[in-house]
Amino acid sequence: MAPTEPDASTTEHTPEHASSAAPPASEPAPRHAVDPPSAVSGSTPDEADAAAPELLAQRGAPSRTNEVGRSSEPTTLGGHAVAFLRELSVVVVGALVISTLLRVFVAQMYDIPSPSMHDSLQIGDRVLVEKISRVQRGQVVVFHDPGGWLSEPAPQRGPMGQALEFVGLLPASSDHIVKRVIGMPGDQVICCDPDGRITVNGHPLVEPYVVGQPPSVIRFRVEVPADHLFVLGDNRVNSRDSRCHLNDPGTVVGAGAFVPTAEVVGRGVAVVWPRAHWQSLDPPPSYGGIPTGRNPARDHPVIEAGPEARC
């Protein structure tokens, strides 16, 4: 009788059988077709993006190191030049904007075109004019022609010159006039006292800027109206100033002799060019003791002047 074979269902495997059935330990585990869940699952989008380059590098794929399209390779010389020009243009535009704002609201340069302020100011002097503080007696001021003061219109610059003037790179050169404030609204200005001096509200002026000539050869007595100024040039024998318009025709004869305060650009602070003429333009001490005039000032001027009050 032939021996029976063991039933497969009851066959007991020996350790040899188990070891032969197991795969070799050195054989790598099957490669997953997708990223391991532990690397990306449970992470925020930012953490996943941060881990992505490392995972791609493990696979041999190119790394996504730039999310905004900028090249990670060294910038070329042309790129440096473009970046430099871009930054330079921002700086230049910013400087021009600041210069324009300063010119419009703070200060501006003006050239002296005539000898009417000699010896204080020479032809060609460049004066810094500030536009913030209030005008006071004795100050040198720049103002627009109130009407008929300029014997001929000022020469006009071309488009380029006007642009440079607008941004403050060239001094203003239009219908501006430079004189010294003698009377404020309500002041009574008279030429002259027994000593030949101009008086303001009875106070005689000591005028060291009037050199080699009398304070005025034109005799007058005026009271300055509200919102106006009475101005004179320092070169009294060669200055078309308020005295020259005391007989001008109009609704009120001589009203054109007074400069509206609204036409004043600002006060001269100093001569800044040429270097040999550097000086401040502060009022002389004699203006400090002038008493207050009529307050409130009249709406219309009071004028007494002879026929010689013309220039």
Active site residues: 116, 179
DSSP bridge partners of 143 = 177, 264
∠267-271-274 over CA atoms, to 5°?
155
285-to-37, 104, 142 alpha-carbon distances in Å: 90, 31, 21
Whether the CB-CB separation of 300 and 255 falls below 8 Å is answered with yes
Q: Which amino acid is at 270?
A: A
- Cα 55 from Cα 293, distance rounded (Å): 90
Contacts of 8 (CB under 8 A, 6+ apart): none
In our burial notation (b when 16+ CB lie closer than 10 A, e otherwise), range 93-116 reads eeeeeeeeeebeeeebbbbbbbeb
203 burial via Cβ count (<10 Å: 0-12, 13-18, 19+): middle
